[in-house]
A = this chain, B = another copy of it.
Amino acid sequence: MNTLTSLTRSHFDPHSLNKDATLMASGNGYLGIRATLEEDYTHQTRGMFCAGFYHRAGEQETTELVNLPDVVGMQITLDGEPFSLLSGTLLSSRRELRYDCGELRRELVWLSPNGQRFAIESRRFLSARRLSCFAQQLSITPLSGPATITVTTGIDATQTNVGRQHLDEAQVRVFDRAHMQGIYATQDGAHQLTISSHCRVGDGAVTHFTAKNRRLTQCSSATVEKGQSFNLEKISWIAAWLDGSGQNNDISADGLRHLRDALGQGYDALLAESAASWTTFWTRSRVEVASDSPDDQQALDFALYHLFAMTPCHDARASIAAKGLTGEGYKGHVFWDTEVFLLPFFLVTRPGVARQLLRYRWYNLPGARQKAIQYGYQGALFPWESARSGDEETPAFAAINIRTGVRQRVASALAEHHLVADIAWAVVNYYQATQDGEFMAREGLDLLRETALFWMSRTVEVNGRLELHDVIGPDEYTEHVNNNAFTNYMAHYNVAQALAWLREWQLCDAAFESRAEDFLARLWLPQPDEQGVLAQDDTFMEKPSIDLTRYQARAGSQAILLDYSRAEVNEMQILKQADVVMLTYMLPGCFTPQQMAANLAFYQPRTIHDSSLSKAIHGIVAARCHDAASAYRFWHEGTQIDLGDDPHSCDDGIHAAATGAIWLGAVQGFAGLRLHDGALSLDPCLPSHWHEMQFPLVWHGQPLRIRLTHDAVAVTARSTLSLTLWGKQVVITGQHIFYRRDFFTGKAGSGTTEGAA
C-alpha cells in the first residue's frame, strides 16, 4: 500500500470552521463527533450524533437525529486571557486528521493579546474498537514565562438541534470526586443516554466541579513554568440505550465501569487498539491510485474514511443518514442514497454490512406496508425519508416560497416512489455478489415480493397499457409527471426480478405470477428516439429549455430557485440531476453504448447538477462510454462537493452519498466494475494521468485483488474465478495479468502468473 494520506489545515479560517468540523469529524458508525475546535466561536456548530438516536421535539416538528451533549468544548484561559484565535496572533497552526488511525491532531503557537506565547497541542479520537469511547488530550506550554492555565470542560447538555430540545437531564453526578456523569432521556422517554467523563490533570492542578444550567464541568487550574506543560487527558464513555433498553439496567454503573476500564488503558493504548481496527478496514477496502495529481488519492482516502465513520455496522435497526453522523442536515434521515450510493461499496468490501443495511429495510416493512395502505396501494411503499421506526419522516413543508410567502408542501413523500425499486435493485445486487441464499430466502424475497406488489398496484391503465402517473423521479426539479422513464424501467426491473427469484425459490404463487406477467407485458417502457435519446417523461420534450450555464457554474447551490419558482422550474427542461443518465447507470443492460452516449450528451446542457448525487453518475456513464476525460472531470468535480473551495460546502454535514460516489466513480467508473446479471465484469477506462489503480474486492465470498494500468489488469484470486474482462469471459485461479492488447487482437483469456500484486 502507498502511505495513507491525511487531511491537513495549516491556516485558521473562521469562515470554514463548520466545513472543517464536518470534513475532519470523528466517527465509528456508532457515534459521530464533529471536529469543532476546543474553544467556542460564534458560528461554530458542535455536534455529536449516535446512529438510531432519533427524537421528535414536538407535534409540528420532524423526527431528527439528536445533537447530543457536547464533550469536545474546552474553555481555556491563559493568564487571565480567554484563548481565542480571533484575538492575539496565531504564529503557527496545523490540524491533521489521520486516516490511518482516525486521530485528529492540532498544534499551534499563539501570541496572546498581553504578549505571551503559548504552544497548544490537542489530540482526539473516537475508538474504532470500543464504540462508546472518545479520548482527548490537551497540552499547553507557556513559552514566554510562567503562566496560570485554566481549562474548563465537561458535559454540555445545552446543545440543541438549532433550538429544538430533545433531551431532559435525568441525573447529573460527580462520582468519587473524579468522574462526571450525565444521564439524559429523550423527552418521549424512548431513548436514554449516559455520558461519563473523566479529566486527568497534573498533580499541581486545582480542580472543582460545577453543575449548572445543563452544564456539568470540571475546572482545572495550575501555574506552569515556562517550557513546562499543562496536560489534560479526558476520556469519555458515551452510551446510548435505545428503545427503552436502558430502563431495566443500571446504566449509571455500566457507564462508570466502562469509563474506569478505559481509564486503566490510557490514551495511547486506547489509540493503538483503535488503530488496529482501522488497519483492518484499510486492508480490506482501500483504493490506491498512482496519479499525477495527489488530490485523487486524497479524495479516495477521504471518502473511505467517512464510509467507515458513517456506517452503523453494529445495529441492523440503523442505517446511514444522508449526512452520516457528521451534522444535523437532512435531520439524520435515511434516503435512497444508502442503497444506490453507499451499499455498493460494502457489497464488495464487507458484504455483511451490505446485508445489514438491507435488513434495516426489511425490519421496516411494517411501516412501508402501512404507508402503501394509507395511499391505497398494496405491498411496501417505503418512506422517502426514514429514521428508526420505518414511518414516513419527510417534513410536510419545505422552505418558504419567496414569491408567495407561503411554505410549500414537500412532494417527495407523496410521489417519489422510485426508492421502492432502488431497494429491490440493491437486494438483487446483494445476492448476485454474495450468493447469500439464507438472506435471499427470507429478507431478500420478502423485499422483492412486497416491492413488486407495490408497483403492480401503482399503475393506471390507458388504452390497454399500464402507465405510472404522477411520480417524481430522482430529478426533483420535475414533479408530478407521467411515465417517468427512470421510474417505469426500474418498476419493470423490480417486478421482473421478483418474479424470477420467486420462481427460482419456487415460492411464486399463481396469482402473483399471472399478475406479474401481465404487468411486465403491458407496462409502458418509453423507447429511445432515432438518436437514442429517451424522454425523461411524457411531457418533458415539449417543455422549453433555457441556457443553464451560469447555474451550472454554481452547481449545488440551487441558485435557480432565487430566480424562478419551483412551479416555473417544473415547466422547463431544467434538471437537478438527469434521470435517464441515472437509469443507464442503474440498468446498463437495457441500453446500447450509443444510447448511453446520446442521453449523456442530450441531458448534460439541461442539467444543473444541483443534486450532490448527479456528477458522479454522469462520470461513471462517461467512463462506460470510454470518454476518460469527461469521466475524470465529472468525478473530480464530484470530489469537490465536500472537499472543494466553498467554505460552507458541508457546514451541516458530509454529503454521504457523494463520498460513496467517489468510490463508485473510481471502481465502477475507471475500473469499469459491473455486477450485471450475476457476473463480475471489468472494463477499465483509467484517466490518462492515472498510471495504476488497485483495490481489494470480495466476490461470492472470495477475496480478490485487482490491479490496473492502462495496458493491463492483474487479478489475484484464491480459488477459481470467472469474470468478464473487456467484454470477454476469462477464468483464473491464483494471480494473473491480462494485457489489453491481447483482448483486441484475439488472444483473450491468456494470463501470466506473477508475484504478489
> Does A459 make an interface contact (CB < 8 A)?
no
Shortest Cβ distance from residue A255 to the other chain B in the assembled complex, whole angstroms:
14
Please indicate the chain B residues that have their CB under 8 angstroms from the CB of A356 in the complex: none
Please indicate the chain B residues that have their CB under 8 angstroms from the CB of A208 in the complex: 402, 562
A173 touches B405 (CB 8 A): yes
In the bound complex, how far is the Cα of B15 from the Cα of A84, in angstroms?
13
B173 touches A60 (CB 8 A): no
A61 touches B168 (CB 8 A): yes
A210 touches B405 (CB 8 A): no
> Does A158 make an interface contact (CB < 8 A)?
yes
- Cβ-neighbour of A209 out of B163, B172, B211, B402 (below 8 A): B402
- Per-residue B-contact encoding for A402-421, CB less than 8 Å = 1, 0 else: 11011100000000000000
In the bound complex, how far is the Cα of B186 from the Cα of A58, in angstroms?
10
In the bound complex, how far is the Cα of B405 from the Cα of A172, in angstroms?
9
A164 touches B400 (CB 8 A): no
B168 touches A165 (CB 8 A): no
Which of A212-220, A377-385, A491-499, A728-736 forms part of the interface with chain B?
A212-220
In the bound complex, how far is the Cα of B331 from the Cα of A212, in angstroms?
12
Which of A36-44, A308-316, A535-543, A574-582 forms part of the interface with chain B?
A36-44
> Does A157 make an interface contact (CB < 8 A)?
yes
B158 touches A210 (CB 8 A): no
Shortest Cβ distance from residue A124 to the other chain B in the assembled complex, whole angstroms:
21
Find the B residue at minimum CB distance from A189: B59
The residues in A between 635 and 693 inclusive whose CB is less than 8 angstroms from any CB of B are: none
**How many positions in chain A have a CB within 8 Å of any CB in the partner chain?**
49
In the bound complex, how far is the Cα of B213 from the Cα of A160, in angstroms?
12
The residues in A between 208 and 250 inclusive whose CB is less than 8 angstroms from any CB of B are: 208-216
- Per-residue B-contact encoding for A254-286, CB less than 8 Å = 1, 0 else: 000000000000000000000000000000000
- Per-residue B-contact encoding for A390-406, CB less than 8 Å = 1, 0 else: 00000000011011011
> Does A462 make an interface contact (CB < 8 A)?
no
Please indicate the chain B residues that have their CB under 8 angstroms from the CB of A177 in the complex: 403, 405
Shortest Cβ distance from residue A262 to the other chain B in the assembled complex, whole angstroms:
20
Please indicate the chain B residues that have their CB under 8 angstroms from the CB of A157 in the complex: 163
A405 touches B41 (CB 8 A): no
In the bound complex, how far is the Cα of B562 from the Cα of A400, in angstroms?
52
- Cβ-neighbour of A160 out of B40, B160, B215, B562 (below 8 A): B160
> Does A89 make an interface contact (CB < 8 A)?
no
- Known interface pairs A40-B43, A176-B405. Does A400 touch B168 (Cβ–Cβ under 8 Å)? no
- Per-residue B-contact encoding for A77-108, CB less than 8 Å = 1, 0 else: 00000101011000000000000000000000
B163 touches A158 (CB 8 A): yes
Shortest Cβ distance from residue A611 to the other chain B in the assembled complex, whole angstroms:
18
Secondary structure type dominating chain A contacts: loop
A399 touches B40 (CB 8 A): no
> Does A1 make an interface contact (CB < 8 A)?
no
> Does A174 make an interface contact (CB < 8 A)?
yes
Find the B residue at minimum CB distance from A58: B168
- Cβ-neighbour of A163 out of B57, B60, B160 (below 8 A): B160
- Per-residue B-contact encoding for A146-177, CB less than 8 Å = 1, 0 else: 00000000000111101111001110111111
- Cβ-neighbour of A165 out of B160, B172, B175 (below 8 A): B160
- Per-residue B-contact encoding for A712-749, CB less than 8 Å = 1, 0 else: 00000000000000000000000000000000000000
Shortest Cβ distance from residue A524 to the other chain B in the assembled complex, whole angstroms:
39
A214 touches B162 (CB 8 A): yes
A400 touches B172 (CB 8 A): yes
> Does A187 make an interface contact (CB < 8 A)?
yes
Please indicate the chain B residues that have their CB under 8 angstroms from the CB of A174 in the complex: 400, 402, 405-406
Please indicate the chain B residues that have their CB under 8 angstroms from the CB of A86 in the complex: 84, 86-87
Please indicate the chain B residues that have their CB under 8 angstroms from the CB of A211 in the complex: 399-400, 407
In the bound complex, how far is the Cα of B399 from the Cα of A216, in angstroms?
10
The residues in A between 162 and 207 inclusive whose CB is less than 8 angstroms from any CB of B are: 162-165, 168-170, 172-177, 187
Find the B residue at minimum CB distance from A86: B86
Find the B residue at minimum CB distance from A161: B213
In the bound complex, how far is the Cα of B70 from the Cα of A162, in angstroms?
13
- Cβ-neighbour of A172 out of B163, B164, B407 (below 8 A): B407
Find the B residue at minimum CB distance from A562: B208
Please indicate the chain B residues that have their CB under 8 angstroms from the CB of A405 in the complex: 173-177, 209
Please indicate the chain B residues that have their CB under 8 angstroms from the CB of A402 in the complex: 174, 208-210
Please indicate the chain B residues that have their CB under 8 angstroms from the CB of A42 in the complex: 40-42, 84
Shortest Cβ distance from residue A161 to the other chain B in the assembled complex, whole angstroms:
8
- Known interface pairs A208-B562, A209-B405. Does A165 touch B162 (Cβ–Cβ under 8 Å)? no
A-B pairs with beta carbons under 8 Å apart, 24 shown: A40-B43, A41-B42, A42-B84, A57-B165, A58-B187, A60-B169, A60-B170, A61-B168, A61-B169, A157-B163, A159-B163, A160-B160, A160-B165, A162-B214, A163-B165, A163-B213, A163-B214, A173-B405, A174-B400, A175-B405, A177-B403, A208-B562, A211-B407, A216-B400
With contacts A57-B168, A58-B168, A211-B400 known, what are 19 further pairs, Cβ within 8 A?
Answer: A41-B42, A42-B42, A42-B84, A59-B168, A60-B168, A61-B169, A86-B86, A86-B87, A158-B160, A158-B162, A159-B163, A160-B163, A163-B213, A173-B406, A174-B400, A174-B405, A208-B562, A209-B400, A216-B400
